[in-house]
Structure 1
């Protein structure tokens, strides 16, 4: 059976002196509870706290010869006794016990504070010898009358609230009272307080008081608390010129009046009353020191633009309806705060330590995310700008290749022709600049890059590199922005902490509760305040930044792979030839990897170059293999048709070295192959050799543009057919064609007209030379 915890205390002075001296220490530093329920206490202890130690009887305290403060809160004590030897005691707390009577305190002549709150006391008695008592707490008992306080002339603080007292009386001798709490009792009138000329604070809440009275003769009164009564009018405060706080919450006020003389009033509380109009509170606007106002839960509080109107009426106030807390939280959000764990004290922390603990990233989170999005957008914008300065409009080409109408054959052919024409034009432009060695910019030669045949490819690789550098920079910037010095890699470290159960209150990263310092002007003085604020945004920011970190890591890996891929296929020639060869093999164009090996080299290295290969790759990536392969095949056929015509033209120098007047080109500055090329170009646009049925820009392919034969007479056509053995019965498909076209369609397409005299009348044609290649 458990023994009384006080029964085994030392009973002699020698036993007390044998204990270790633990003077001026609280319970956790001066007592040790063992398994048998024995508490060892030093005899010279001055402060002894026995809160919640399950003591049921006060005994065996005689050895405490130096005790000054004794706390027996939250125990099961039923009777006050065995304290006679504690003459040095100045503070005795018996809060929340089972005491029914005040007794056996006569020897405590030095007692200054006595707390008997939350007991079962029915009467104030046996306190006559406690002449030095200054503070008396007997709230929440069963008192029915104020009595037994006549000899307590030094009393300055009296709290007898929450009892069953029906009348204020018997306080005439307590003239030194400064604070009086009488709330939650049963009296209806404020009376018999005229003798309390030194009263500073009076609190009479939650009674049945219907009017303010009995306070006008207290010139030193500074604070009045009358909340929770039935007061309907402010009156009888004329002599209270020092009043600073007036609390009338939860009453029946309909108007604020009779307060103009309260020039020192700083706080006015009128929550949950019946005030409806702004004109009913005009008297408050005459108070120059008014700093805090409460009008919540009044009809006026629901008026439109309530806060704006109140601030116009009372520009001097710093707190309206308790918004100091909201203002402090807003201030914490817009200025730097600092985090201190709950296990550490923030009292007396110097500015340097606060600076080390400072956090401000939550204020800049929206701007950081905006900056990140801009950084990710810049390489794309740069690519569009730089690519538009080349001769190849890559974006429009891809858009044309991805046209949904390409499923229609005629539209598909037209789009392929447009694509190849655009690409050919750009490639020929680059070839012409390279052949003539033209440099538009003579001094700032780096400006000639847009005219090179690898400009688009280099700009694309540069864009890829910028994307890669941006992602890497974003990862480094995030670690710096979040000030996570304890994490080398923020995302991994944060996730590991979460898995280990380390939350924000241990790591200090994205703390939900922080401290904030701010100043408040009160009565002309600047007061420093430190408040604890809740940063709800950090709960969301933590998840957002963890996701962003892993997303950036994934982007870095993918971007690095893409950059390496494009750099490899761009700067290693074998990949370009293999790419074109693979698509020519699957096309309908005759192609042999061995026989056309040199042709492939010429096509890739001398014709397409880097930009042509890049365009082919992008077209195939976006439009698909089928469409892209047809574009590659079309460019291949077009390129070698032109080359074949150039070779054939160069094989007849005796027929090409004459101008249209029959003069020789021997004296031309262009000799040899160059001369032949220029003659071919001249023949290409020679209008005298163009059929009257066609334009000089017409023709299904390069062959017809280069050499366009005139129509043949019927007799000549029959003679040619007879000589070659071609059938004279035309098919239905060729009846509508001109004679020479029908002949070509029926015969071997390798036959070509290599020369014909300039004669506009075909019937007078003298001879035709037909070559078969």
Structure 2
């Protein structure tokens, strides 16, 4: 929410953000990271397809057409890196070990990374669409109440509460049976049993999506390690070590700017072998881009892991869900008598259940706790006016009179 408040004043950002069915850590993954990767893709593509991505030092007898051919053949075929202090290998096997074959595909891998960061978001919206509730609409209406008049605000809150009440009632399991009651009891305490009728469908799916975000952020470090083939997993640590010791790496073995290229030219029955030295200006950009991506992936992975643990702590354990509700009931002076305390537990476990409390927490993440407090009060009043609650209240009053 802090990052959203900084960027929220920009109209373009508001159009990009669009939806309110997740928290800001999710948007850090599927929105901000995707935008960064697309920007990097544009930068690298511009340099590759508009400028000169490679320029080779050719023999003096080469004409302009020969130079163009050399540049093209060395670009589409992989070059290899040998430091100036070492002798160029004579055989193909040592050259193959030092081969650099990623620079042609950098725009594609960056787009692929952006797609991977977007997939969990797309999956989450498909799953919520099948849950029987328009989660984005609820949270959006709640978040927009801060900018409307008092009358419209009250009308909007009542509309949200009525909609949530219908959703909560329609999502109930009306069948009976020993096995069904057992499944309902298990679903209160763990996500092994889950479903739309058990009140934990949204929570389970959201935790699954959170795990996907975390797996994706960590997994991309290994994907890049395979793509670059340069022990990329420890790249950031080496950068920090160089900076700490004040070492400058001009000839980077991971992103070399000067490489070697072997190619053959056939003239009649003769085949001439050439080894030319090439400059890869594109690697000047690649080095900085993938350096930033390493630190960004570590940053996103750390925040995603912490966020996943926090959501697990607050939503999976029953006492934390009830404590969250009781806090707002106390604020609204609805948690005083013994009957209120007993009915508050039923309000959380039988009426709202895990999914209802999850929606309230999501409103709090995207709007504020004042809005959550008003929704809890209205939902509590809805619950108190239900026939079963009035019957229980009447029985309690009769017993106290006796």
TM-score exceeds 0.5:
yes
CA offsets 1:509-531 (integer angstroms, 9 cap, x no match): 21111111112233453322211
Classify 1:489/1:383 alpha carbon distance in 2 versus 1 (closer, same or farther; 3 Å): same
Contact 2:334 2:340 in 1 (8 A): no
Q: Structure 2 CA distance, aligned partners of 1:569 and 1:545? A: 36
Aligned length: 323
Secondary structure in structure 1 of the residue aligned to 2:133: coil
**Is structure 2 residue 385 aligned with structure 1 residue 641?**
yes
Contact 1:479 1:489 in 2 (8 A): no
**Is structure 2 residue 71 aligned with structure 1 residue 325?**
no
Contact 1:513 1:533 in 2 (8 A): yes
* Structure 2 match to 1:340: 82
Q: CA RMSD, aligned part only? A: 2.7
Classify 1:577/1:427 alpha carbon distance in 2 versus 1 (closer, same or farther; 3 Å): same
**Is structure 2 residue 118 aligned with structure 1 residue 363?**
no
| Aligned pair partner of 1:394 in 132, 135, 143 | 135
Aligned-pair CA distance for 1:398: 0.9
**Is structure 2 residue 320 aligned with structure 1 residue 578?**
no
Q: Aligned runs of 1:144-543 on 2, under 5 Å?
A: 322-346=64-88, 349-403=90-144, 407-433=148-174, 435=176, 449-485=195-231, 489-497=234-242, 499-505=245-251, 507-523=252-268, 525-543=270-288
Of Structure 1 and Structure 2, the greater helix share is in 2
TM-score by length of 1: 0.39
Aligned-pair CA distance for 1:403: 2.1
Deviation larger for 461-470 or 566-575: 566-575
CA offsets 1:352-374 (integer angstroms, 9 cap, x no match): 11111111121221111111111
| Aligned pair partner of 2:300 in 534, 555, 567 | 555
* Structure 2 match to 1:607: 351
Secondary structure in structure 2 of the residue aligned to 1:392: coil
Secondary structure in structure 2 of the residue aligned to 1:344: coil
Q: Structure 1 CA distance, aligned partners of 2:161 and 2:303? A: 32
Q: Structure 1 CA distance, aligned partners of 2:68 and 2:142? A: 59
Aligned-pair CA distance for 1:384: 0.4
Q: Structure 2 CA distance, aligned partners of 1:326 and 1:397? A: 60
- Comparing both chains, which one has the higher relative contact order based on Cα–Cα distances under 8 Å and sequence gaps of 6 or more? 2
TM-score by length of 2: 0.74
* Structure 2 match to 1:715: none
Q: Structure 2 CA distance, aligned partners of 1:552 and 1:512? A: 25
Q: Structure 2 CA distance, aligned partners of 1:355 and 1:599? A: 72
Contact 2:80 2:100 in 1 (8 A): yes
* Structure 1 match to 2:189: none
Classify 1:438/1:429 alpha carbon distance in 2 versus 1 (closer, same or farther; 3 Å): farther
Classify 1:380/1:438 alpha carbon distance in 2 versus 1 (closer, same or farther; 3 Å): farther
Aligned-pair CA distance for 1:332: 2.1
Secondary structure in structure 1 of the residue aligned to 2:261: strand
Aligned-pair CA distance for 1:632: 0.6
Secondary structure in structure 2 of the residue aligned to 1:596: helix
Q: Structure 1 CA distance, aligned partners of 2:63 and 2:90? A: 31
Q: Structure 2 CA distance, aligned partners of 1:448 and 1:343? A: 63
Stretches of structure 2 that go unaligned for 5 or more consecutive residues are 1-60, 181-191, 396-402
Secondary structure in structure 2 of the residue aligned to 1:629: helix
CA offsets 1:529-551 (integer angstroms, 9 cap, x no match): 21111000111111111111011
* Structure 2 match to 1:669: none
Contact 1:328 1:533 in 2 (8 A): no
CA offsets 1:297-324 (integer angstroms, 9 cap, x no match): xxxxxxxxxxxxxxxxxxxxxx995142
Secondary structure in structure 1 of the residue aligned to 2:171: helix
* Structure 1 match to 2:14: none
Aligned-pair CA distance for 1:405: 6.9
Classify 1:558/1:501 alpha carbon distance in 2 versus 1 (closer, same or farther; 3 Å): same
Q: Structure 2 CA distance, aligned partners of 1:320 and 1:418? A: 78
Contact 2:172 2:197 in 1 (8 A): no
Q: Aligned runs of 1:552-701 on 2, under 5 Å?
A: 552-587=297-332, 589-592=333-336, 596-643=340-387, 646-647=390-391
Aligned-pair CA distance for 1:333: 2.1
Aligned-pair CA distance for 1:648: 7.9
Contact 1:362 1:538 in 2 (8 A): yes
Secondary structure in structure 2 of the residue aligned to 1:489: helix
Aligned-pair CA distance for 1:568: 1.1
Contact 1:511 1:538 in 2 (8 A): yes
Classify 1:326/1:404 alpha carbon distance in 2 versus 1 (closer, same or farther; 3 Å): farther
Classify 1:404/1:634 alpha carbon distance in 2 versus 1 (closer, same or farther; 3 Å): closer
Q: Structure 2 CA distance, aligned partners of 1:559 and 1:521? A: 56
Select the structure of larger CA radius of gyration: 1
Q: Structure 1 CA distance, aligned partners of 2:287 and 2:148? A: 50
Q: Structure 2 CA distance, aligned partners of 1:447 and 1:328? A: 63
